[in-house]
Amino acid sequence: MSMDPRNDPEPPGVDPEAPADPLAVLQADIERLSGELAAAQAKAQEHRDTYLRALAENDNARKRAQRDLDAAQRFAVERFAGDLLEVRDSLELGIAAGPGVDAGKLVEGMDATLRLLNKAFEKAGLSAIDPAGQPFNPEFHEAMVTQPTADQAPGTVLAVVQKGYSLNGRLLRPARVVIARAPEAAS
């Protein structure tokens, strides 16, 4: 093997299959990079379109949910109002009967109307709080007055001045009550 570079068939670092013209090599690189750039731009546009569609769908879903919420708030009492129409009809019939109705029939009609109202309340989840004889609970009762008594333990509800009401377990109005207290000692 000779050390003379003139005898070597190809100089080191030269690709025998590469074009000899450096301008052609540069042109090939430009074309390859232009193709890669076009592919990357197409992919970016596809991602942008997907993002914009998702953004529009999200906005539509938000608007639809807001419309549904508005409708639910406006018509939340629709079923309850329908049940109360029966109560109103019953009251109107009682008034239309006039003053000639005897007291027994009037009480009977009022009792039927109250049953209709109680049925409507029950369907709507509205329940009465009538704590007579129970221990006073400040979360559901409002003390109007205390009354000395030896018959009941102190802190017990003696009488209900006005019933309270709760809606599905949530207090609407506390029951107004008279509370027992210990009798005063005789001096």
Query: What are the tokens at 58?
Result: 């999200």
Q: Tell which phi-psi region holds residue 96, choosing left (phi > 0), alpha (psi between -120 and 50) or beta.
A: alpha
Identify the CA nearest to 113 among candidates 131, 90, 81: 90
CATH 2.40.30.10, applies to 125-187: no
Give 140's contacts (C-beta < 8 A, 6+ positions apart): 129, 131, 164, 166, 171, 174, 175
pTM for the full predicted model: 0.59
CA distances from 96 to 88, 109, 116, 147, 182 (A): 12, 12, 18, 44, 51
Domain range list for the chain? 125-187
* pLDDT tens digit at each of 187 positions of the chain: 455 555 555 555 555 565 568 898 899 999 999 999 999 999 999 999 999 999 999 999 999 999 999 888 888 888 888 888 988 988 888 888 777 778 888 888 889 999 999 999 998 899 999 999 999 999 999 999 999 998 999 999 999 999 999 999 999 999 999 999 998 876 5
